[in-house]
Amino acid sequence: MLTCRDLTVGYGETPILRDVDLTVDRGEIVGVIGKNGVGKTTLMKALVGLLDPSAGSIEYDGTDVTGWSADERARAGIGYIPQSRDVFPDLTVEQNLLVGEAINETSEELLYETVYDYFPILEERADQRAGSMSGGEQQMLAIARALVGSPDLLLLDEPSEGIQPSIVQQIQRDIPEISDDLGITVLFVEQNLGVIEAMSDRCYAIERGTIVDELGAGELTDDRLADFLAV
Ligand SMILES: Nc1ncnc2c1ncn2[C@@H]1O[C@H](COP(=O)(O)OP(=O)(O)OP(=O)(O)O)[C@@H](O)[C@H]1O
């Protein structure tokens, strides 16, 4: 469903990611592990169209989307939940969801009832200003806002960062269930070993801007994963 070949991308003249090759098959949940500053967010931004690669290609659902804008990719079914979550703080929960739904041109399947089933707290707080919710609640809203856009591929940047453990547990349970129920493919970057073990079918490891390893389901253990976070 997603294939990156020889992707090189950075800021200005400085490449941050070099020659990244990565694939995600339809229906998979694939993790990317790497310590602070290795280029995880840079990878996400390149995939969603917020950064132009200086070399390499990105293929999505059989089409080369390397030159496509972020808006075109979103409309083609790539949903993105940035590390900063970026909910609109002055809008209510429901208004945030309406903004997410505006991207959904193709389907009526995923409306509020579906996301409220997964995240009942959002229904309870439908009229609350998003900016007054906790980090974890905002993360649930950011996920829900992406889901009402009816994505085929969901890109998640460090979903557990800065979130209370109970909500991390909920998110790591919900994402695989949502992926299964709604047929959504997921690529996420993380540093939290428990989240990677709980959510991933397999996992790539990045060091200094390059993919250095790929771990299959049976290899997703603390011992193996912790090597890639070692200082
Ligand atoms: N806008 C920018 N301009 C220049 N350099 C940047 C910019 N954003 C990030 N960088 C640099 O690119 C490198 C990779 O950053 P990136 O945010 O992709 O890492 P990361 O793996 O997501 O880190 P973290 O886990 O801390 O979020 C870092 O050295 C960072 O300083």
- CA of 207 relative to ligand 1 center, distance in Å: 13
Torsion of CA 223, 227, 229, 231, to 10 degrees: 130
**Amino acid 160: pLDDT:** 94
CATH code assigned at 38: 3.40.50.300
| Token digits of residue 186 | 């997921």
Strand 14-24 versus strand 2-11 pairing type: antiparallel
Which residues touch 202 (CB under 8 Å, ≥6 apart)? 28, 30, 31, 214, 215, 216, 217, 220
Looking at per-residue confidence, does 107 or 124 come out higher? Answer: 124
Q: Is the pLDDT of residue 231 over 80?
A: no
- CA of 42 relative to ligand 1 center, distance in Å: 6
| Strand, coil or helix: 60 | strand
Q: What is the pLDDT of residues 5-30, one digit of tens each?
A: 999 999 988 899 999 999 999 999 99
Write down the residue that tokens 């090189």 correspond to.
8
Mean residue pLDDT across the chain = 92
| Token digits of residue 102 | 């505006």
Containing 145, the helix (H) or strand (E) segment is helix 135-147
| Strand, coil or helix: 204 | strand
User: Which residues' Cβ are closer than 6 Å to ligand 1?
Assistant: 11, 16, 34, 36-42, 83
Which residues touch 103 (CB under 8 Å, ≥6 apart)? 74, 75, 149, 150
CB atoms near residue 146 (< 10 Å): 23
Q: Whose CA is nearest to atom 3 of ligand 1?
A: 11
Give the domain extent around 55: 2-229
Task: Please state, in angstroms and rounded to a whole number, the distance separating the CA atoms of residues 160 and 17.
Answer: 23
Closest ligand 1 atom to the C-alpha of 39?
18
Q: Whose CA is nearest to atom 10 of ligand 1?
A: 11
> What ipTM was reported for this prediction?
0.96
Q: Could you tell me if 45 and 51 are in contact, meaning their C-beta atoms sit under 8 angstroms apart?
A: yes
Q: Ligand 1, residues 7, 40, 210: which to mutate, most atoms within 8 A of Cβ?
A: 40
The amino acid occupying position 180 is D
Q: What is the pLDDT of residues 109-130, one digit of tens each?
A: 556 788 899 999 999 999 999 9
pLDDT band at residue 105, thresholds of 50, 70 and 90?
low
Task: Please state, in angstroms and rounded to a whole number, the distance separating the CA atoms of residues 105 and 85.
Answer: 23
DSSP 92: B
- CA of 208 relative to ligand 1 center, distance in Å: 11
Number of structural domains, the chain? 1
